Every structure is written in structure tokens, then in C-alpha cells.
């Protein structure tokens, strides 16, 4: 009887599955919107080149903001879906344990209510979207490259300086929190967005476990092995940050030489 009551206090699996399904549907809609915005931007840029109509520039800026918003939405929807999947796995394990009477009375008493569990696994994704954070996202950089191609500009000239400024304006840690060395083949957690070197993060998983607690100090998120994905855009950020630091060192040395003279 107690097991039945505790099972009823858990979130319903069909509700969680509905959340995951609906999140996937919304993600497809935002991906379609992202594609349409991209095509509109390229068409407008082509029109701008042909007619020289400078009034299109404000509209292009708004389209870019919309594009960034779709990226932010997709990233957060992925995290939300990952959180819901973690919640589903938790509930399934709790139900299985309760039904098999394998839990101690003390453990049974610690099973949280559906509301508390949902808040634990899904609350992080209620925060406002910071679209500016996604200017270094691979999809936005690809859009800028294609716009540059329409303009006949070199990608490096058009993107390099702006992205250096973006990185310079952020506190960007280029070291893996596990190995403490410079990031190599970066991988990102979809659950908490932390970045790791591929070899370092995958070494944390044992043969018999597909989940770990995030190794970043202060983060208590549980990460499944399938919730880590390659983040090639971080490689570009690391390279730019290293170049920026190298420039600073050279500039400092030059200033010291001038001072000595």
C-alpha cells in the first residue's frame, strides 16, 4: 500500500513523455523558422548588393536577432528535453525499486513530490534567454560566412575581428576543468553547458555507468553519456583567445622596450 501511494506521488511517465515529445515538435518549428530567417537574410543581402539600398541594414540586424533567438531556443529546448529525460529515468528507477520493495523505509521517505522533482530537473530552463551569448554559435557563424560569400568578402576578414572582440569581452576559460590543460577536442554537456576535453570527460564514465555528476565544482547536474556532444565552435574560440593573449604579451613587451629606451 505504501509503495502504491509513493508511486502515485511521482510525476506520471506519460506526462513526462508528452513533455519530451512536445519539446521535440517545438524544436522542429524553431529549426524551420531558423532556416526561413537564413534564406531571407541571404536574399536581402543579395538585394542590398544589387541595389545598394542602405535602408535594408536595420532589417538585416533584426533578422540576425531573430536568428540568434532561434539558436538560443533550440539550445534551451535541447537542455529542457535532456532534463525531462533525466526526470523520466529517475521516475522509472523509483517505480521499479518501489514495486520490487528493494528500497529501505528511510529511502522511501525521501522520495520527493512530483512538483519538487520537476523543479529539480527542469527549473534551470526558466531563465531569460541571452541571445548575445550565441554569437559564437556554429550556426550563427555559418550564417555570417554565407552572407560574406554573397558579398564576395573573405570570411576571415569579415568574422575574425568581431569574434576576437566578442571573446575578449567575455571571461573565457580555455582550460578543461578536469585535466586543467588547454581544451583539446572540446565536448559540451547539454545539461549544464560546461565544456571539457573529449578524452577527459569520457574517461569519467565507467564501463558499467552511462551517467556521472558534472565534475565542475559547484555543479550538481547529472550528465548522461548521450548528453555530451562535440563543440567544434569552441576550438575557434580557444584559438582566438590564444591569439588575443599572444597579442597582449607582445604589446606589453613592446611597451617595456620603449620604456627602457
pLDDT, one tens digit per residue, over 8-30 is 556 677 888 888 888 888 888 98
pLDDT, one tens digit per residue, over 217-243 is 888 889 998 889 988 878 878 888 888
pLDDT above 70 as % of the chain: 69
Cα gap 146→86, rounded to integer Å? 37
Whole-prediction pTM value? 0.50
- Which of 89, 103, 93 is CA-nearest to residue 3? 103
Note whether 117 and 10 are within 8 A (CB).
Answer: yes
pLDDT over 70 at 52, yes or no: no
SS3 201: helix
Of residues 28 and 172, more confidently modeled: 28
pLDDT, one tens digit per residue, over 207-224 is 667 889 999 888 888 999
* Torsional class of 218: left (φ above 0), alpha (ψ -120 to 50), beta (otherwise): left
Confidence category of residue 199, pLDDT binned at 50, 70, 90? very high
Note whether 3 and 105 are within 8 A (CB).
Answer: no
Of residues 18 and 45, more confidently modeled: 18
H or E segment to which residue 108 belongs: helix 105-109
**Hey, where are the domains in the chain?**
1-136
pLDDT over 70 at 203, yes or no: yes
Cα gap 231→184, rounded to integer Å? 11
pLDDT of residue 178: 92
pLDDT, one tens digit per residue, over 83-131 is 888 888 888 887 777 777 654 444 444 445 555 666 666 665 555 678 8
- Which of 38, 67, 79, 63 is CA-nearest to residue 214? 79
The overall average pLDDT reported for the chain is 75
Amino acid at each position: 500500500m505504501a509503495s502504491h501511494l509513493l508511486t502515485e506521488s511521482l510525476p506520471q511517465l506519460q506526462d513526462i513523455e508528452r513533455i519530451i515529445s512536445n519539446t521535440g515538435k517545438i524544436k522542429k518549428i524553431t529549426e524551420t523558422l531558423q532556416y526561413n530567417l537564413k534564406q531571407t537574410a541571404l536574399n536581402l543581402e543579395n538585394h542590398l548588393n544589387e541595389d545598394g539600398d542602405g535602408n535594408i541594414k536595420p532589417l538585416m540586424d533584426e533578422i540576425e536577432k531573430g536568428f540568434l533567438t532561434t539558436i538560443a531556443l533550440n539550445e534551451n529546448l535541447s537542455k529542457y528535453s535532456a532534463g525531462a529525460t533525466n526526470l523520466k529515468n529517475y521516475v522509472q528507477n523509483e517505480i521499479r525499486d518501489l514495486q520490487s520493495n528493494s528500497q529501505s523505509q528511510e529511502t522511501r521517505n525521501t522520495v520527493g513530490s512530483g512538483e519538487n522533482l520537476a523543479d529539480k530537473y527542469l527549473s534551470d530552463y526558466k531563465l531569460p534567454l541571452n541571445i548575445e551569448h550565441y554569437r559564437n554559435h556554429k550556426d550563427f557563424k555559418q550564417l555570417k560566412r554565407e552572407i560574406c560569400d554573397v558579398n564576395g568578402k573573405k570570411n576571415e576578414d569579415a568574422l575574425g575581428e568581431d569574434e576576437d572582440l566578442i571573446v575578449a569581452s567575455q571571461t573565457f576559460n580555455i582550460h578543461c576543468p578536469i585535466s586543467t590543460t588547454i581544451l583539446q577536442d572540446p565536448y559540451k554537456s547539454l545539461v549544464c553547458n560546461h565544456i571539457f576535453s573529449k578524452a577527459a570527460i569520457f574517461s569519467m564514465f565507467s564501463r558499467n555507468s552511462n551517467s556521472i555528476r558534472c565534475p565542475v565544482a559547484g555543479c550538481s547536474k547529472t550528465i548522461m553519456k548521450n548528453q555530451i556532444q562535440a563543440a567544434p565552435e569552441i576550438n575557434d574560440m580557444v584559438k582566438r583567445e590564444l591569439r588575443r593573449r599572444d597579442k597582449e604579451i607582445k604589446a606589453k613587451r613592446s611597451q617595456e622596450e620603449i620604456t627602457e629606451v
